[in-house]
Amino acid sequence: GAVVSQHPSRVICKSGTSVKIECRSLDFQATTMFWYRQFPKQSLMLMATSNEGSKATYEQGVEKDKFLINHASLTLSTLTVTSAHPEDSSFYICSANSGTGDFNEQFFGPGTRLTVL
């Protein structure tokens, strides 16, 4: 099956700093990548959808200037949490869709646990 990696798996940072999370599709080209956030005991919440070479589409209520998404190639998307605050502490998960096979099947990365002190 398709493999998606995320780096780092865990990050602890001070309030006010910026954190970059990378999402890579290892054995396929991802035309679309998705960024989710999951708070404890809650479901996945889609933050944004990014297509290679174009601007990301953000969900309502997600600040695009705070959560910067770059999808510069068909195998890499990055999420930068700028000026992170404790309320940004969460589990961030990316997924990728190759656009072939079962449409909309999303292959998930292992997630990044962000803790902002």
Partner 1 sequence: GQNIDQPTEMTATEGAIVQINCTYQTSGFNGLFWYQQHAGEAPTFLSYNVLDGLEEKGRFSSFLSRSKGYSYLLLKELQMKDSASYLCAVVDSNYQLIWGAGTKLIIKP
Site for partner 1, rule CB under 8 A? 42-46, 91, 93, 95, 102-111, 113
Strands, DSSP E only, in the chain? 4-7, 10-13, 19-25, 32-38, 45-51, 57-58, 67-73, 76-81, 90-97, 107-108, 112-116
- Quick one: 62 or 111, whose CB is closer to partner 1? 111
Q: CB nearer to partner 1: give 82 or 111.
A: 111
CA dihedral 70, 78, 20, 63 (to 10 degrees): 60
| Minimum distance, C-beta of residue 115 to partner 1, in the bound complex (Å) | 13
Q: How far is the CB of 36 from partner 1 (least distance, A)?
A: 9
| Min dist. Cβ of residue 103 to partner 1 (A) | 7
Q: Which CB sits closer to partner 1, 24 or 109?
A: 109
Q: Are 37 and 91 in contact (CB under 8 A)?
A: yes
Report the alpha-carbon distance of residue 23 to residue 87 in Å, rounded.
22
Q: How far is the CB of 14 from partner 1 (least distance, A)?
A: 23
Residue 75 or residue 97: which is nearer to partner 1 going by CB? 97
Of 10, 9, 2, which Cα lies nearest the Cα of 32?
Answer: 2
